[in-house]
Structure 1
Amino acid sequence: MDKIRVLMAKPGLDGHDRGVLVISQALRDAGMEVIYTGLRQSPKQIVTAAIQEDVDAVGLSSLSGAHNVLFPEVLKLLREAGAEDILVFGGGVIPAEDIKLLEKQGIKKIFTPGTSTKTVATYIERAVLEARGEVKITAAAKPQGIDHIGIAVNSIDSAAVFYRNHFQLEVETVVELPSQQVKVAFLPLGNVTIELLEPLTGDGVIAKFLEKNGEGLHHIAFAVDDVQQRLDQLKREGVQLIDEVPKKGARGNNIAFLHPKQASRVLVELCESHDTEGG
């Protein structure tokens, strides 16, 4: 298998390149060959270098706000040169609405500040190998939906009154999990379940959460087809996990948690869906 070759470029008038240098080193650490063309490159210079260097992918970094003009111009020149098989990805301070537009025009992926270098390297490797036809890699699908929302409470009986009186939601089942030192009440609502989490002891995870934060949102759970497969994918991408292997949830299905610092301090659970049963 030939090494993946990537050309990193800074189109436009950007005056510094710290970010692109960090990404370049991360790609080298991942075993790729990286060519960096330097600051203030025109789209024509970038495309010429990409063809001469026979690269698999071009990475464009822009902080100047000219991405909506410069990135599509690189794509256009690659097509005109018969080199549309070269993948183009981008990064920088790019608004969400512009990301959607650029990816629709043919930019393979836009990475924004906060994306781990491991995520970038994993994505590029996967995309290039699939484009070469050397491997068939199915990108992880979106979660099936929100499986449940976990709310930490001091008392299930007290907390359930609000949902019963004002939203006509009834507790369907209550399950005790001594191994996790928690009692769970399930309040189904359409395809989503509200879980009320009451501590069984004073030193369990929920008890400690209540002591530190008081009652409130504890976690949000996404329904996925295969928890272990998703954990493996996230680990490759550099996401910090609490659980590297699934464990059994309150309804007997596989679950796992991601570290809250990965999602703006929100604890995220992966829940293996069997008719969208919660964890």
Structure 2
Amino acid sequence: MNQKPIRVLVAKPGLDGHDRGAKVIAQALRDAGMEVIYTGLRQTPDQIVEVTIQEDVQAVALSSLSGAHLHLFPPVVQRLREQGIHDVLVIGGGVIPDEDISTLKESGISAVFTPGTSTQDVVRYIQDHFYGPQVKPQVLKIDHIGIAVKDLQQAIDFYENVIGIKCTMIEEVPDQKVKVAFLPTGDSEVELLESTDPEGPVAKFIAKNGEGMHHIAYRVDNLEAKLEELKKAGVALIDQKPRRGAGGAMIAFLHPKGTFGHLVELCQREDEK
């Protein structure tokens, strides 16, 4: 995303003496790449509008825990309009009863966020307003299951002659120190993995766990976007960026500590690009 950063003013109008929530929101917006100005406690509507103009912000996020939101939020919108400013997004949050939300929206507050709202919901609302709704990357299906084996040919013989699944291709992936056999099963496949190096990741897996299921792979329609989404969610990644894997796919692995103890691969095929 190469859009110009959104400038946001986070403000605490009135006599509310607590600003931890406002600071949490401000940090979440910064983490999302926005430029944030925080004016501190006990700001008047006039002061908030003055800073809005001086800092040339595109959005104002008002926070109130005192219960005075009906008296403090609408005047900010009114003062902005009096200054001829109609394109600044104004949102509000805090301890706000459901019955007050419609009144605030009628006064020009675009969105109201109540306790329990995820900071990501606030981030997404602002981003969608300025950039348009972002297409969420989709998981399309299980792409394949990877099985670590000591002897690739022996494993192929078993799957072909006993299970009844035919191997259609064998490929060596030097940078992963592995040889892969592809066995299609409908719209997914089994991948048999034999290490080509005693120090390779598959060899180490077998030394620690024995032969067996090595990973499960999910096909996605936009791998780069999915990795960014997972980073923002705090998911531990082995691969920070996509890399070339077997079968020409772009792949990335997630760390087992973030996926309930099993290795997860995400992959994107050429027909999804």
TM-score normalised to structure 2 length: 0.63
Q: Tell me if structure 2 keeps the 8 A contact 1:6–1:56.
A: no
Task: Determine which of 86, 101, 123 is the counterpart of 2:111.
Answer: 86
In 1, are the aligned partners of 2:137 and 2:226 still within 8 Å (CA)?
A: no
Instruction: List alignment gaps of at least 5 residues for structure 2.
Output: 1-5, 13-18, 31-35, 39-61, 78-89
1:49 Cα offset (Å): 8.2
Q: What is the rounded CA distance, in whole Å, between the counterparts of 1:171 and 1:89 in structure 2?
A: 56
Which one-letter code corresponds to 1:128 in the other structure?
Answer: I
Shift of 1:215: 2.0
The residue number in structure 1 matching 2:8 is 3
User: Does structure 1 conserve the Cα–Cα contact (< 8 Å) formed by 2:105 and 2:111?
Assistant: no
Taking the aligned partners of 2:247 and 2:215, their CA distance within structure 1 comes to: 16
Among 24, 27, 41, which residue is 2:25 paired with? 27
Distance 1:182 1:25 in 2: 48
Q: Which residue of 1 aligns with 2:56?
A: none
Correspondences of 1:144-223 after superposition (within 5 Å):
144-165=140-161, 167-223=163-219
Alignment of 1:247-258 (within 5 A): 247-258=243-254
Specify whether residues 197 and 3 from structure 1 end up closer, same or farther in structure 2 by C-alpha distance, changes over 3 A only: same
- The 2-side partners of 1:81 and 1:130 are apart by 21
Q: Which ranges of 4 or more aligned residues in structure 1 deviate by more than 4 Å? A: 4-7, 45-55, 73-77
- Taking structure 1 as the reference length, the TM-score comes to 0.62
1:56 alignment counterpart: 91
> Structure 1: 5+ residue runs without aligned partners?
8-19, 39-44, 61-72, 92-109, 112-119
* Structure 2 residue identity aligned to 1:179: D
Q: Residues 201-241 of structure 1, C-alpha deviation per residue, up to 9 Å, x if partnerless?
A: 21001111111122222222222233233333433444332
AA aligned to 1:127 is Y
Q: State the alpha-carbon separation in 2 of the partners of residues 256 and 209 from structure 1.
A: 18
Report the structure number with the largest CA radius of gyration: 2
Alignment partner, residue 122 of structure 2: 124
Could you say if the C-alpha distance between residues 37 and 146 of structure 1 is closer, same or farther in structure 2, counting changes exceeding 3 Å? same
CA RMSD of the aligned region, Å? 3.6
Distance (whole Å) between structure 2 residues aligned to residue 276 and residue 2 of structure 1:
34
